[in-house]
């Protein structure tokens, strides 16, 4: 079942104009006809039923004939993660996290960050593509690249996952039935001593994700799975 992303479809009976790519897909791949229906989402929990009207491989139009509310995840999961040097790995994380379940993503700028710039528009497109593919109705929120200190100031209740010394709790023990989860995942070189000290000074809870050495994006997906499992 193909799902279309139409973020600005507010009004009933609103006319829908599909993009050239979507139009081509509707006409040539899905081979839809006038009068057929497709589903769309605004990424904010609404499922729209669109009745197709004018079929044109460059500009197909339709009309919104119905809408319903799709319940969100029963939990919030906010991952603050240092983007990887190889952006493909970060993009893979965005896709997998969307499939498994995530509500908020903040790219982090850390002392050991290997990537200090990101292209928001491209990353947003990846999230939208992942949402459509897994037929989700709630687009994860992607925040701008945020310095570690700022994020920690805004989220003192967050859990910080790191490989440094010291006593850490297993993540799974802290997310059982916890409705709001915020987890920080460091860059390949881990959080710096300064960053961990700052987190400790704010009494943030330090966690580990098991005894295996995981890449940044793998640690992040492992965290997504851990939270999802706690709510199964």
Indicate if the alpha-carbon torsion angle 7, 13, 15, 21 is positive or negative: positive
Minimum separation from the CB atom of position 70 to a copy of itself (A): 12
Minimum separation from the CB atom of position 163 to a copy of itself (A): 12
Strands 146-147 and 104-109: parallel
Looking at the chain, how many residues does it have? 232
User: In terms of CB distance, is 133 or 150 closer to a copy of itself?
Assistant: 133
Q: Any contact of residue 162 with a copy of itself (CB under 8 A)? A: no
Which helix (H) or strand (E) is 163 found in, with range? none
User: In terms of CB distance, is 42 or 226 closer to a copy of itself?
Assistant: 226
Cα 6 from Cα 22, distance rounded (Å): 11
Segment lying near a copy of itself (by CB under 8 A), choices 23-31, 106-114, 132-140, 199-207: 132-140
Minimum separation from the CB atom of position 91 to a copy of itself (A): 11
Q: Any contact of residue 87 with a copy of itself (CB under 8 A)? A: no
Quick one: which of 117, 135, 154, 200 contacts a copy of itself (CB under 8 A)? 135
Asked if residue 230 lies in contact with residue 172, where contact means CB atoms within 8 angstroms, the answer is yes
Asked if residue 140 lies in contact with residue 192, where contact means CB atoms within 8 angstroms, the answer is no
Asked if residue 80 lies in contact with residue 108, where contact means CB atoms within 8 angstroms, the answer is yes
Minimum separation from the CB atom of position 67 to a copy of itself (A): 21
Q: Any contact of residue 163 with a copy of itself (CB under 8 A)? A: no
Q: Any contact of residue 221 with a copy of itself (CB under 8 A)? A: yes
Asked if residue 104 lies in contact with residue 181, where contact means CB atoms within 8 angstroms, the answer is no
Q: Any contact of residue 174 with a copy of itself (CB under 8 A)? A: no
Cα 142 from Cα 29, distance rounded (Å): 31
List 79's β-bridge partners, or say none.
Answer: 105, 183
Quick one: which of 44, 156, 170, 200 contacts a copy of itself (CB under 8 A)? 170
Longest Cα–Cα distance of the chain, Å, equals 64
Q: Any contact of residue 213 with a copy of itself (CB under 8 A)? A: yes
Interface with a copy of itself (CB under 8 A): 92, 96, 99-101, 133-135, 170, 172, 210-215, 218, 221-222, 225-226, 228-229, 232
């Amino acid at each position: 079942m193909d799902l279309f992303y139409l973020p600005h479809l507010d009004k009933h009976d609103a006319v829908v104009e599909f993009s050239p790519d979507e139009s081509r897909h509707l006409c040539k791949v899905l081979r839809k006809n006038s009068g057929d229906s497709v589903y769309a989402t605004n990424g904010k929990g609404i499922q729209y039923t669109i009745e197709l009207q004018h079929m044109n491989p460059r500009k197909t139009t339709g009309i919104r004939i119905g809408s319903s509310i799709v319940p969100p995840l029963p939990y919030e999961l906010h991952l603050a993660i240092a983007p990887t040097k190889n952006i493909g790995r970060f993009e893979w994380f965005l896709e997998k996290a969307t499939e498994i379940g995530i509500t908020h993503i903040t790219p982090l700028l850390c002392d050991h960050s290997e990537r200090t710039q990101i292209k928001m528009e491209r990353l947003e497109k990846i999230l939208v593509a992942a949402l459509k593919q897994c037929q989700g109705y709630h687009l994860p929120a992607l925040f701008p690249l945020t310095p570690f200190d700022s994020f920690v100031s805004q989220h003192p209740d967050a859990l910080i996952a790191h490989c440094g010394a010291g006593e850490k709790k297993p993540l799974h023990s802290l997310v059982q039935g916890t409705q709001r989860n915020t987890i920080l995942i460091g860059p390949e070189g881990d959080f710096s001593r300064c960053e961990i000290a700052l987190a400790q000074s704010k009494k943030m809870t330090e966690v580990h994700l098991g005894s295996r050495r995981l890449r940044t994006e793998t640690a992040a997906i492992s965290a997504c799975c851990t939270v999802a499992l706690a709510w199964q």
